[in-house]
Structure 1
């Protein structure tokens, strides 16, 4: 069974510090038997989207490029599938929130660009990121078929379903979500409950594993709530990290359980694909 490792970490002041720290975590995870390693969202930078500042565009990297070459070398040396969440400079004035997927031989399989872009107080992502145009690829890696989505994508059952229909056995979500001080006393528990519950529902509805890896620590006024987790096809929490601590969260993925679940809960078989046309409309009056 492939072992999944989620790297729940704090942010760092510089990209060099963040890269060195995460290289250490990736190598440690591999030494502990990990086959698939996933970073949190935008792991090389602080979560800069709390404000609109044009200078932060300088944090972006061309993808593919020297950065993906370095990540591929680490993946090859460690023999792991590596999912890395990065800030992409695609072209003049064009930027994306992008995940790269390296296979265990270090080959860059491709990119997933975040499709759903939020705009909330302290999450000013529409200023920085163009909505993704990569569609819903599923990566057939050495250690399983992986669907990669990013943070705000977590709330959309359509995205999870399309990845599952592409054959994904596990959905992974690099994430940066937390509490604001004015909301936490009244809404903090409810917000976390909603976040975790909707994703556990995706696991059940699609008969697959689901893993969300979040930041921890406080940046500015945002307290990232950590609590990275893995849910099995029944939606059960089979691994969960703490709120405050940096940690590597491990879980062994039994993909036979995915197939077994899909046989006895045949949601894909019973879909009414002839009756869902209104889903592609903005509103159904």
Structure 2
């Protein structure tokens, strides 16, 4: 399978403009015989949305714009991000997997950040499920940005048989100290999941300025074992491509068989115990010490 990383710069609130750019990338990807083309988080609407824009850019799943993308997916599989409006007028940060003219799968972002510049929890409802799904190219799972920072979700996808993790994000160029720490953190995280779960990780970020935010790009495909297959430019629009071969998954699952030994019953039992105990025995006394940010910046690079 040939996968394409549609690292685009979008405009907040300009759905039709963003759609035209997506269609241009689709046209180019078809010429390059790409099988699956993945776009970033909220690629149809832009990320830096405020309350007055959410309802204006939100799309129902039967919207003509979605129908046009379903039509495109007859020739090429697609992953696109949008603000989805449900039948009950809830808004979700959603990623759609489109294939053969239909919506094969949708993932509603579960973990909505609500700190710093992030205000998603104010505007969006949280997704309620995460599961792997079958495609023409193997079993996959989709996550949206912050979902990947909660290891239980990739863990569930791996248990559910996903061989390819698709992670669509809007990661901005900011960090602690002088470095773009989000970039380094994401790169380590993607390689970790590829190695531990013996899977491919397809990571697609947006790029350029969007309102007050600037995004760093660096979209990538990591193969089982943790090595990089392809990486898009930093801070530049690009269609990057790579070939995914599930024989590599088979090879690494035999070379590194630890995950096959996963004891699901034990995990379920212990999670139930933890939920019941409500962390009664956990002490947080060490968090009460004074926080010295200057020293912290020198030692840590966090997302």
2:105 is aligned to 110
Alignment partner, residue 167 of structure 2:
173
Moved more, 25-34 or 186-195: 186-195
| 1:187 Cα deviation from its structure 2 partner | 5.6
CA distance in 1, matches of 2:62, 2:140: 20
Instruction: Choose the corresponding residue for 1:197, options 188, 202, 210.
Output: 188
Deviations 1:64-111 (CA, angstroms, capped at 9, x unpaired): 4323211110111xx2111111110114441101111111x2122131
* Structure possessing the higher radius of gyration over alpha carbons: 2
TM-fit CA distance, 1:139? 2.5
Moved over 3 A (4+): 277-284
Rounded Cα–Cα distance in structure 1 between residues aligned with 2:192 and 2:209: 28
Q: 1:244 aligns with which of 235, 238, 241?
A: 235
Write the distance in 2 (CA, Å) between the matches of 1:64 and 1:255: 33
Question: Structure 2-normalised TM-score?
Answer: 0.85
Aligned partner of residue 19 in structure 2, secondary structure: helix
Counterpart-to-counterpart distance in 1, 2:199 and 2:61 = 29
Give the root-mean-square deviation of aligned CA atoms: 1.8
Match of 2:8 in 1: 9
Matched-pair contact (CA < 8 Å) for 2:2–2:244: yes
Which residue of 200, 208, 215 corresponds with 2:199?
A: 208
1:58-77 equivalences under 5 Å are 58-76=56-74
* Matched residue, 2:47: 47
CA contact (8 A) 2:173 2:180 kept: no
- 1:145 is aligned, of 139, 142, 160, to 139
Q: Which of 127, 130, 133 in structure 2 is aligned with 1:132? A: 127
Deviations, residues 119-172 of structure 1 (Å, cap 9, x unaligned): 122211101111102x22322111222211111112122111211222211111
How many residue pairs match? The answer is 275
**3-state SS of paired residue (1:267):** helix
Matches within 5 A, 1:256-275: 256-275=247-266
SS at match of 1:179: coil
Gaps of 5+ in 1: none
Counterparts of 2:233 and 2:271, CA distance in 1: 37
TM-score, normalised by the number of residues in structure 1: 0.90
